[in-house]
Structure 1
Amino acid sequence: MRLATWNVNSLRTRIDRVEALLERHDIDVLAVQETKAREDQLPLMGLQAAGYEVAALGHDQWNGVAIISRVGLTDVTEGFPGMPAFNDKHEARALGATCDGVRVWSLYVPNGRKPDDPHYAYKLEWLAALRAASQEWRDQPTALVGDWNVCPYDEDCFDPSQFTKSTHLTQPERDAFFAVEGDYADVVRPHCPGPEVYTYWDYYRQRFERNRGLRIDFVLGSPTFADRVTGAFIDTDERNPAQGTDKPSDHAPVVVDLTD
C-alpha cells in the first residue's frame, strides 16, 4: 500500500493537482486536510471515475478533511471520542476510515493562533483528547496522518527565533505531540532526516525558494503499522512554483510505502 497525506488548502481549487498526484505516485490512499468545503460542493467525479472512493467531512469554507481510497473505505467515523468543540462548534478536523485493513485518520490539528488566544487552549485540549482516544487504537494497524501544526524539534523550523511569541514551537504543544508519539511512531523522519527538511512554506516573501519552511505534516503509525513501513518521501515538487505547478498548496504531500 502507498499512503499519502496532504493539506491541499482548498480541494476545489486543487482537484486537478490531487488527481495528478494520485496518478503520478500510484497512491492507494490519500488523506486530505483543509478541503474548505462541504462534501456536496466537492468535484469528485474525476476521482470516482479513476476508481477511488471518497469520504469527506466539511461544514463550511473553513477546515475540512477527507480520505480518498482505491483499496476500500469502510467504517467511516466523523470525529473521535472526546474531541472538543470550539465556541460550542465541533469543527471538521478528524475523519477516520478503514482502508484495506489499515485504520487511517485524516487530522487537521487546530492552529492555536497565539499562545494567549482561546484557540491555543483549544489546540492543547484537542491534542490531549486525541492522545486519549488514540490509545484505544494502537493495537491495530493505525495511521494518524495530517497537518499537526506543531514543529516537534527546532530543526523542524527554519528559524525558531522568529516563533518565540507565536504557536507551533511552544513546549506545551511539543509535549502534546510527544504524548501521542509515545504510543505511535513518526514513520517518515527515519527516511527523511533533517535538518532543513520541511513540509510547509508560507507564500510570503518566496519562502519556498529560500527553503524557509516548517515540518508540520506527519504520519504517526501504531506498532503494527510502523513495522510495515518500507520507505517515505516528501514531494516538494508539488509545492515548487518553478515546476509549473498550477496554484500550489503551501504544503507538500508526504508519502509512505507499506508492505502487504
Structure 2
Amino acid sequence: MRLASYNINGVNSRLHVLTRWLEEFQPDVVGLQELKCTDEAFPIEAIRALGYSAIWHGQRSWNGVALLSRVGEPVETRRSLPGDPDLSQSRYIEAAICGVLVGNMYAPNGNPKPGPKFDYKLAWLDRLADHARDLLGSGAPAVLMGDYNIIPTDEDVYKPERWLKDALFAPEARERFRALVGQGWTDAIHSVHPDERVYTFWHYWRNSFQRDAGIRIDHALLSPPLAKRLKAAGVDRDPRGWEKTSDHAPVWIEVET
C-alpha cells in the first residue's frame, strides 16, 4: 500500500496539479495539507471522479487538512488534537484506513519568534507528542504524516546558517521532533535514506528548486508495527517542477499489506 503526504498550498488553485499527480502517481492513501478553503468549497467531485473517497476539515483562506483513499472509506477517528487550545485552526485529521490509523497534520509555522505564534507552535507540538504517545500505547499500526514545519537536523536544510532565526529551525522545535521520534516512531525518509540530503520544500524565489536549495519539513513517522512493514519511502519531486504548482513535493511510503 502506498501512502503519501502532500502540502498542496491551495487545493482549488492547484487542483490541476493534484488531479494530474493522483492520476500519474496513483497513491492509495493521501494526506493533504493547506487546503485553504471552507468545507463547502472542497473539490470532492473531482476527487471522487478519480476513484477516491475523502474526509476533510477546511478553514477559510488558511490551513485545512484532508484524507483521500482509494482502498476503502476513511473511518474518521478525530479532527483535532486532544485538548487543542484553538479549534478554529484546522490542522489535524485522523482516520482508520485499510487497517492503518492515519494521522495527517499541518503543524503551526511559528514565525515570527519569539512571540505568541511561536508559543502556540510549541504548545501544539506538545499536544501532538501526548497524542502520539497514546497512539503508540494502543499498539495499532499508525502513521503520523504531514507538514510538521520542523527542519530536524542540519542535514535537512540547504544552508543551515540562513535558517537560524526561523521557527522551523528553532532548537525548541527540533528538540520536540527528536523527542517525538524518541518515543519509538520511525522517521521513514531518514530510515530509508540515512546518508542522503532529501528535501520536500523549495521556495518559489531565486530558482530554489532548480538549485536544489531546499529543506525537509514534511515527514512520515511510523509506529513499530507499521515500521516493520516499511518497504520503501521517498519524495516525488516531479510535481514541484510543474506549472503553477505547490512549493512542496509529496512524501510517500510503501508498506506491506
TM bin (shorter chain):
over 0.9
Q: Which residue of 2 aligns with 1:95?
A: 93
Contact 2:23 2:50 in 1 (8 A): no
Deviation per CA, 1:199-254: give whole Å up to 9, x if none.
000112111111111000000011111111100111111112xxxx1211000001
Contact 2:107 2:124 in 1 (8 A): yes
Q: Give aligned pairs, total.
A: 253
Q: Which residue of 1 aligns with 2:180?
A: 180
Q: Which residue of 2 aligns with 1:257?
A: 254
Secondary structure, aligned partner of 2:24: helix
Deviation per CA, 1:133-156: give whole Å up to 9, x if none.
111112101110000111110011
Q: Which residue of 2 aligns with 1:205?
A: 206
Secondary structure, aligned partner of 2:16: helix
When residues 96 and 20 of structure 1 are mapped into structure 2, their CA distance, relative to the original with a 3 A threshold, is: same
* Structure 1 gap ranges (5+): none
Secondary structure, aligned partner of 1:92: coil
Query: Which of 53-62 and 20-29 deviates more?
Result: 20-29
Q: Which residue of 2 aligns with 1:63?
A: 63
Q: After the TM superposition, which segments of 4 or more aligned residues of structure 1 sit over 4 Å from their partners?
A: none
Q: 1:194 offset after TM fit, Å? A: 4.7
Is structure 2 residue 212 aligned with structure 1 residue 214? no
Deviation per CA, 1:18-69: give whole Å up to 9, x if none.
2222221221100000000112102221211222111110121100000011
TM-score (norm 2): 0.94
Identity of aligned residues (%): 36
When residues 37 and 194 of structure 1 are mapped into structure 2, their CA distance, relative to the original with a 3 A threshold, is: farther
Contact 2:7 2:246 in 1 (8 A): yes
Q: Which residue of 2 aligns with 1:84?
A: 85
Q: 1:172 offset after TM fit, Å? A: 0.7
When residues 113 and 194 of structure 1 are mapped into structure 2, their CA distance, relative to the original with a 3 A threshold, is: farther
Q: Which residue of 2 aligns with 1:166?
A: 166
Contact 2:55 2:76 in 1 (8 A): no
CA RMSD of the aligned region, Å? 1.3
Query: Which of 65-74 and 190-199 deviates more?
Result: 190-199
Is structure 2 residue 128 aligned with structure 1 residue 130? yes
Contact 1:110 1:123 in 2 (8 A): yes
* Structure 2 gap ranges (5+): none
User: Higher helix share goes to which structure?
Assistant: 2
Distance 2:160 2:85 in 1: 29
Is structure 2 residue 244 aligned with structure 1 residue 247? yes
Distance 2:215 2:195 in 1: 11
Query: Which of 2-11 and 18-27 deviates more?
Result: 18-27
The code of the aligned residue for 2:252 comes to: V
